[in-house]
Amino acid sequence: MKNYLVLTAFCIFSNFMTCLAQNVVVKGIVLDATNNEPLGFASVALINSDSVVVTGCMSDVDGHFEINAQRGTYIIKVSFIGYKEVVQTSHLTENTVDVGTISLHEDATMLQAVEVRGHLPKTVLKGDAVVTNIEGTILEHTGNANDVLAKVPGMIDNNGKLEVIGRGTPVYYINGRKITDDSELRNLMSEDINSVDVVSNPGALYGGDVRCIVRIKTVKRQGEGFSYALTSQAKKYTTCRYFDPSWTVLDINYRTGGWDFFGKFVYWAQHNFQLSDVFGSTYLVNDGVPFSHIQDGTINAKNYQGGLQYVGGINWQINPNQSLGIKLDYANNLFGNEKMITDNDVIVNGVLDDHLTALNDVDNSDSYQFTSNIYYDGTFNKLNINFNADFMQASITNKTDITEASWHESSNLSSRASADVKMGAAKLVISYPVWKGSLQVGSEETYFEGSQQYKITKEDIPSADSRDRENTIAAFAQYSLLLPFGQFGAGLRYEHVNFSYYDDENSANNIKRRQDDWFPSLNFSTKINQVGISLGYTGKTHRPSLNNYTNELTYVNRYTYQTGNPLIKSSQERTVSLNANWKWITLSSAFESAENSITQWASPYNDKGIVILRSYNLDDTYNNFSIYLNASPTIGVWNPRYTVAYSKPHLRLKVTDQREPSGERIIKRNTPMYMIQANNAFQLKHNWLFEINYQYISTMSEQIASITKEIHKIDLSVQKSFLKDNALTLKLSWIDVLATNAVHHYEVDYGAYFIRQTNDRRNPGIFLRASYRFNSAQSKYKGTGAGQSVKERM
C-alpha cells in the first residue's frame, strides 16, 4: 500500500506543477550555413526589451534547442566560436513557437584560413556530464568505441578494464539504450560516434546502485536500403606461442519507409593466462598454544573460451514523434575450459610439513543467456512517454575435476556448480515542460528469481541447494530548471526492495528482508566567462550480487573455502562532484563516502590452517577523494591528450591478531593513486593515423587491498583507411610493448590471515583489425531497457 501512495504522490506533484505552467516553449535548430550540418553546443539567448538576458541554453549535439519562457517579445541571439552571431526578433504568443532553422556563417576573421571543425570544443560540460565531441576531431579516426573510450577525459584503462576515474566500471548506453554485450562497443566504429558523455554522478532516472554511466551518441545516417558492417580482429601473443582469432562481428541493417530491421552475428574465441606467486600465512592461538600455517607456491592457469551470439530486432517509426520496437538477444558458449596447476610448500609452525600439487580441470561450456526488450517512445505536443519492458533468462554450469598430490593424503575430487536466473522488468518515464524547465517522473519495477546448486565429492563439505527472490519497486522524479545564471537540477528516487533467501538443505538459514531507500540528487551548472562549472550531489547504494547472498560452501583448494553471507547488507554511498572546463582543459573531482562497503573477508575456518572467504560489510566508513586534469589541444597534425589523476582513499580497519597484547590492531589503507596518460595521435595525409600512447599507474590502496607494483604501459598503432568513404579500415597495434601492464601485485592483511600474490596475466600482443562497412547505418532502435542494475548483479 505504501508503494501506491508514493506513486500517487509523484503523480499529484506532476499535475500540480503542470497547472502552474503558463510558459511558452521556443524551439529550433542551429546549422552550419556552408555544409548544412548541425552545430552542437551553440549558445542561444533570449533578451528582453531592456537588453537583459532572460534565459538561454546550448544546442544539443544535433543542433536542436528548446527554451521555456514567458509570453512576450524577445530578441533571440545565437552565437558559436568561429561563426558570425545571428540576432532576430520573435513574438512569443503561442504555447509552442518554432523559430525553425538558424544558419550561422563562418567568420573569416576568426578562422584565419583554418578549418572551423578543427576548433570545435573537444570537451565541454553539459548538465551533469563531461561531454566529449568525437565527430570532427582526431578521435573520429581512432578505431572502434573501445579505442575512443580509452582516450576520453574521465576514463582510465585499469589493467585492461575501462573505468571512470575514481568511480569504477560504468554502465554504457548507446543512443539511450543500455548495452549488455561488449561486442556492441567492439563493432561501433569511431567514425559513427558523434559524442561521449561521462557522468560520474547519475541522477534519479537511474537505479540506486548505478554509480557512473557513459552515454554514447551516434552520427545520424541518412538514406534507406541495405547496409552491413563486418569487423574482425586477430591477436598474436608476444609472451607465448598462441594466436587467437579473437572475434568477428557482422552487423546487418535494412531500412525502408518507417521500418528498420537489424541483426547481428558474433563469434568469439580467446585465451587467458595467469602465472602467480602466492604466499599465505595464518596465525592463531589454540588453548594458549600459538599455531602458524604458511602456503608458499605458484599458480599456472590457462583458460580458453569461445561462443556465439545472435541479435535481431525490428523498429517501427510510426511518425516523426512515435516509435516502437522489439529486440531479441541469445548467446551461448561453444566451448570453455580452464586448467589451473598449483604447487605449494606447506609450512606448519616453521617446519616444512607438506608439498601439495593440484590440477583443477574446469568445464564451463554449458551456459547461455537470452534477453529481450520491447519499447515505445512517443511525444504528444509537449508530453513525452517512454516505456521499456525487459526479460532475461540465463544458466551456467561448471564441472570441475580436482587431482591433488600430497605427502600425507592424495585425493581425486569432482564438483558441479550450476545457477539459473530469470528476470522481468518494466520502466515508464513521462517528461513534460514545467515553468522554465522540464519535469520527468516515472516508475520502475524489477523481479528476479535465481537458484544455485553445488555438489562435491568431499564428505566434510555439504551439498547446497538454494533459491533467491527479489522484487524492487521504484518511483522517481527529476526536475531541470534553466535560469539566467545557470541550470539547476534536482531529483529524488524511492526504491522498495523485498528479498527472500531459501536454503532447501537447511531451512534454518532462510531469510526475508525488506528495505526502503530514498536517493536524492542535486546538480547545478553555469558558465563564468569562458569557464564552465558543474556541481553535483547524489545518494546511491551498492546491493550485493547473488554470489554475495549464497550460503553454500565452495571448495577452492585444500586450504581455502569460499561462501557468501545471507545477512549481507547493501552499502550506502554519498558523492559530491565538481567539474570545470575551459577551452581544451577539463578538471573533474569527486568525494565519496560509503557505509557498509561490501568486500570479501578471509579468516581461519578451523585450527588446521584452512581459510574461508566470506562476503562481509566493512565496519568503518570508506572515503575516497579523486581528481583529474585533462588537456587536449590541437597542434598541427599532432593531437595530444594528456591526463594526470590523483585518488586518495581513507579506510581504517580493526582486525583480530592474537600476536598483539590487546588481540587487535589497526590497519590503514590510505596510499594514494597517481596516474598519467599521454596519448599522442598524428593524423597525416591519405588517411594515415599513427598513435603512441603511454600510461603510468602508481602503487595504491584499493579498498582493503594494497597494490604493490606500479604499472608502465606503452601502446603503438598505425591505421589506414581505403576505398570510397573510408569503407575499409586496417589497424595494426602493439599493445603493452613493455609487457608490464599485465603484471598485478597485491597484498591483503586480514589480521589472522595475510596473503601476498603477484600475477602475470601474459596479455601483451600484436593485434590486426580489419573493418569493412557497406552503406553504413546505425539502427534506429531506441529501447533504453529496464532493470539494468539487476542485470549487472546477475
Q: How would you classify residue 122: left for phi > 0, otherwise alpha for psi between -120 and 50, otherwise beta? A: alpha
Q: Is 343 exposed, middle or buried (0-12, 13-18, 19+ CB in 10 A)?
A: middle
Query: In this predicted model, what pLDDT tens digit does every residue of 396-420 receive, in sequence order?
Result: 999 999 999 999 999 999 999 999 9
Nearest to 642 by CA among 707, 601, 693: 693
Count helices and strands in the chain by DSSP H and E runs: 6, 47
Which of the residue ranges 163-167, 262-266, 707-711, 764-768 would you say has the lowest mean pLDDT?
A: 163-167
pLDDT of residue 15: 41
Q: What are the Cα distances from residue 404, in Å, to 412, 557, 607?
A: 6, 9, 21
* Average pLDDT of the segment spanning 112-124: 45
R_g of the chain, CA atoms, integer Å = 28
239-266 average pLDDT score: 89
Nearest alpha-carbon partner for 163 in 127, 189, 200, 193: 200
* pLDDT 10s digits, 440-479: 999 999 998 999 899 999 888 888 888 889 999 999 999 9
d(CA 35, CA 41): 17
Mean pLDDT (whole number) for 665-694: 94
Residue with cell 572502434: 144
**Per-residue confidence at 113, pLDDT binned at 50, 70, 90?**
very low
Angle of CA points 117, 120, 122, to nearest 5°: 125
pLDDT at residue number 223: 64
Give the per-residue pLDDT at 776.
Answer: 63
Nearest one of 779, 775, 785, 771 to 263, comparing CA atoms: 779
Q: Please report the pLDDT score of residue 370 as a whole number.
A: 94
CA distance linking residue 472 with residue 474, whole number of Å: 7
Q: How far is CA 494 from the centre of its chain?
A: 23
**Positive or negative torsion for Cα 784, 786, 791, 793:** positive
The CA–CA distances, whole Å, from 213 to 161, 438, 500, 570 equal: 15, 21, 29, 20
Rounded distance between C-alpha atoms, residue 416 and residue 398, angstroms: 6
Cell of 406: 600430497
pLDDT in tens, 686-742: 889 999 999 999 999 999 999 999 999 999 999 999 998 888 999 999 999 988 877
- Residue 265 CA neighbour count, 13 Å, CB half: 4
Question: Beta partners for 625?
Answer: 591, 648
pLDDT at residue 1, rounded to an integer: 44
Which has more confidence, 621 or 48?
A: 621
Half-sphere exposure (Cβ direction) of 499: Cα atoms closer than 13 Å:
21
Residue 183: CB atoms within 10 Å: 22
Is the distance from CB of 355 to CB of 346 less than 8 angstroms? yes
Q: What is the pLDDT of residue 355?
A: 96
Please give the average per-residue pLDDT across 41-57, as a whole number. Answer: 76
Which of 44-53, 225-234, 370-379, 759-768 is the least confident region? 44-53
Would the pLDDT of 288 be above 70?
A: yes
Query: pLDDT band for position 109 (50/70/90)?
Result: very low
Length of the chain: 794
Q: Is the dihedral of CA 13, 18, 19, 23 positive or negative?
A: positive
C-alpha span between 279 and 306 (Å, rounded): 33
**pLDDT tens figures, 533-587:** 999 999 999 988 877 877 778 898 889 999 988 788 899 999 999 999 998 899 9
Query: What would the mean pLDDT of 492-521 be, rounded to a whole number?
Result: 90
Tell whether the model's pLDDT for residue 201 goes beyond 90.
no
Q: What percent of the chain has pLDDT over 70?
A: 90
pLDDT in tens, 580-624: 999 889 999 999 999 999 999 999 998 889 999 999 999 999 999
pLDDT band at 250, cuts 50/70/90? very high
Residue 736 to residues 270, 761, 762, Cα–Cα distance (Å):
18, 12, 10
Does the pLDDT at position 13 exceed 80?
no
Looking at every residue in the chain, the average pLDDT score rounds to 86
Interval 762-781 mean pLDDT: 78
- Rounded Cα distance between 276 and 745, Å, is 9
Confidence of residue 504 (pLDDT cuts 50, 70, 90): confident
Q: Point out the least confidently predicted range of 184-188, 212-216, 271-275, 316-320.
A: 184-188
**In DSSP terms, which residues pair with 602 in a beta bridge?**
613
Residues of the chain with pLDDT > 90, as a percent, come to: 50
More confident residue, 411 or 184: 411
